[in-house]
Chain A
Amino acid sequence: MADEVIYRSDHVLEYPFVRSVGPVIGAFLTGLRDGRVVGTRGSGGRVIVPPTEYDPETGEETSGVVEVGPEGTVTSWSWVPRPRPKHPLQTPFAWVLVRFDGADTSFLHVLPAAGPDEVSTGMRVRPEFAPEDERVGHVKDISHFVATGGAS
């Protein structure tokens, strides 16, 4: 049909949520704000970082606050040559799963890397915190991870 017109319009969904974090996640976020990394103890005493209210494998309630790291080891990674607009870094970087020293699970964050050769599993890393007056109790209180130069 000659006058076939299909109309489109921009459509934005915004969720202006503020979440209550509870004591377990709250302890972790409080730790980040204060420049420390903490986890909690799950089944069989294994240390879960980032902490959840339950052991992700057994579902049992976790307990206590355990300080870990701040250094850790990369357990897997992926490298992003072209960051997307909402990614935490806007220059090429790697997603890294980091097992903090003393932890039994891994934490996802970012590590600046110009190429995939700059990141490897087993690589030793530490968090680079945002300036103290900018930290609010958020996962982005860690600005990114950097290599310590060591290997595990």
Chain B
Amino acid sequence: MSEREPVTMMDAATRLDYEFTAGVAMSKNLHGYEQGKFIGQRCPKCKKVYVPSRGSCPTDGLPTDEIVELPNTGTVTTYCVVNVPFAGQSIEIPYICGQILLDGANLSFMGLLQEIPIDEVRMGLRVEAVWVPPEELGPTLASVKYFRPNGEPDADYETYKEYL
């Protein structure tokens, strides 16, 4: 018998390296960020505009081939205030995460909300994107620095209730 303690645990750390490909549709969307634009795609059947699109309409299973450039403005459909620190956090807490529905889009995405006091943020708030300086634009959603109120009156609940 060994005088040392029996082995009970084993290091099984594993690492796998990949080269991830964004695909045709996602690449169009990413290319848009590089140019300071939101690029979405429209379903030929239900006419919904996805931003970003993964290449197909998840409802109809059809290719979303039509490219649609979307404006810089949208509506906060819902939001949360982040008060909890976590690993890799790059923004000082507390901050606001909003679900942004761009005008003309049928899919919302998450964006940072700034230039508004935390107790004034609300559903239906009209916002616009603030982009990083042109020389910092890249194929990433990080090219959008944040969203801020654009001064328009709040959107009517009916206009975004389907996207909650």
A interface residues with partner B (beta carbon < 8 Å): 3-21, 26-27, 29-30, 33-34, 136-138
Contacts and interface: CB of A to CB of B under 8 A. Distances in A.
Contact of A19 (B4, B6, B10, B17): B10
B102 interface: no
Q: Interface residues of B toward A: which range? A: 20 to 34
B142 interface: no
A34 B15 contact: no
Contacts of B139: 5, 7
Interface string B1-24: 010101111111111111111111
A9 B18 CA distance: 8
A10 B22 CA distance: 11
A8 B20 contact: yes
A17 B12 contact: yes
6 contacts: A4-B27, A7-B31, A9-B19, A17-B12, A20-B9, A136-B7
Given A12-B17, A12-B18, A137-B7, A19 B12 contact: yes
Contacts of B30: 5, 7
A18 B12 CA distance: 5
Contacts of A12: 15-18
Interface of B: 2, 4, 6-24, 26-27, 30-31, 139
A34 B1 CA distance: 9
Contacts of B22: 6-9
A9 B22 CA distance: 8
Contacts of A138: 10-11
B13 to A, nearest CB: 5
Contact of A11 (B4, B12, B20, B27): B20
A15 B9 contact: no
